[in-house]
Amino acid sequence: MGSGMRAAPYATIAVAILAVSCATLFIKYTESPTLVVAFYRMGLATLLVLPFALRAPDLRTLSPRGHGLLVLTGVILAVHFATWISSLKENRVDTAASLTLVTSHPLLVAVVSHFAFRERLRRLTAVGVALGLSGVAVIALGSGTAAGTGLGNALALVGGVMAGLYILAGRRFRQRLSLATYAFVVYAYATATLLLMTFATGLTPVPTATDPVREGLLFLALAGISQIGGHTLYNWALKYVPATTVSVSLLGEPILGSALVWAFLGEVPASAVALGAALALPGIFLTGYSLERGKSPP
């Protein structure tokens, strides 16, 4: 692979970071309930990918087992959006806190690998985990005692776990499936899952906003910019770079997302949250970096 091709995935990831960071601002502007926002984000993204998927030959050759695993991946993606957007919209959680917690999955991967699979932590990994978890603790303790804050933090962490599983699944599937097929099937099942969740909670998939046109444009921006320009580009890059590289690159989202909300909505992170993020983000980076080095031959 030439130097241009080697650089392409990293340039794509840079564009994707900006695109997913915009999602925080779009979500903050929406007025509809969490599950409705998530449903339209994924439903419109599915429709945008559909014309490309119909031309993909591997869409018709999926094995039953492969199809089943894609269903599971779609459910994981749906839970990621349902929990994280809820943390951001319906619980009194600082935006910077929510974004930092939802990108903390490299820490969880390292801890689970150590205790569940008896994998020895490298020194750099241990430092990263200690730093990252201390930052997460500062965020949790410093987020205040307002109703819903603890639940919001927990939802953001669950969203982070789901994001990590989604990235790992993407790395596996993108080695043998085209981008259009993978994105379409996973997005479609995520949409179906979110629709079922919407009905199960007594809601209807109808936007509730004082300005329906503005709400629709926000949904379209979430689908076209943040989902297609963000997640779908990440999925393209997963064929060429390790999952950990993509996972760690997501650390750009808390920084850019918080900056956008600060600039447009005037939401300044609480001092404890800023301190926690300053500890957590380098810790998450060190953890992801060391995990990736550990996979490389000496």
Calpha distance 246→239 (Å, rounded): 11
Strand, coil or helix: what is 296? Answer: coil
- What is the 8-class DSSP label of residue 63? -
How far apart CA 157 and CA 98 sit, in angstroms, is 8
The arithmetic mean of pLDDT across residues 144-167, rounded, is 81
Q: Is the separation of the CB atoms in 71 and 253 below 8 Å?
A: no
Q: Residue 65's domain spans which residues?
A: 3-295
Q: Tell me, what amino acid is at 281?
A: L
107 contacts 272 by C-beta, under 8 angstroms = no
- Distance between CA 87 and CA 215 in Å, rounded? 20
Residue-level pLDDT at 92:
67
Mean pLDDT of 107-130: 74
- Percent of the chain at pLDDT above 90? 41
pLDDT at residue 25 tops 90: yes
Taking each helix axis as running N to C, give the angle between helix 64-89 and helix 34-53, from 0 to 180 degrees, rounded to the nearest 10: 140
Q: Record the tokens describing residue 36, joined without a space.
A: 């409705």
Task: Tell me the mean pLDDT in the region 269-297.
Answer: 77
Percent of the chain's residues with pLDDT above 70? 89
pLDDT-based confidence at residue 113 (cuts at 50, 70, 90)? low
Q: What is the mean pLDDT of residues 138-146?
A: 67
Query: Within a 10 A sphere around the Cβ of 93, how many other Cβ atoms?
Result: 28
Q: What angle do CA 212, 214, 217 make, to 5 degrees?
A: 110
Q: Residue 297's pLDDT is what?
A: 42
Model pLDDT, residue 76: 96
Instruction: Kindly tell me if the per-residue pLDDT of 3 is higher than 70.
Output: no
Mean pLDDT in residue range 29-41: 96
State the Cα angle at 234 between 188 and 128, rounded to 5°.
120
Cβ contacts of 99 within 8 Å, gap of 6 or more: 24, 156, 253, 254, 257, 258
Would you say 97 and 137 are in contact if contact means Cβ atoms under 8 Å apart? no
Confidence of residue 141 (pLDDT cuts 50, 70, 90): confident
Domain count, the chain: 1
What integer pLDDT is reported at residue 223 of this predicted model?
97
Spatial CB neighbours of 229, under 8 Å, sequence gap ≥ 6: 15, 16, 19
Q: How confident is the model at residue 153 (pLDDT cuts 50, 70, 90)?
A: confident
> Identity (one letter) of the amino acid at 147?
A
End-to-end CA distance of the chain: 22
Q: Among residues 98, 78, 111, which one has the least CA distance to residue 155? A: 98
Say how far apart CA 200 and CA 2 lie, in whole Å: 51
Across the range 99-111, mean pLDDT stands at: 80
Distance of alpha carbon 143 from alpha carbon 158, whole angstroms: 17
Query: 168: pLDDT confidence band, cut at 50, 70 and 90?
Result: confident
- Mean pLDDT (the chain) is 86
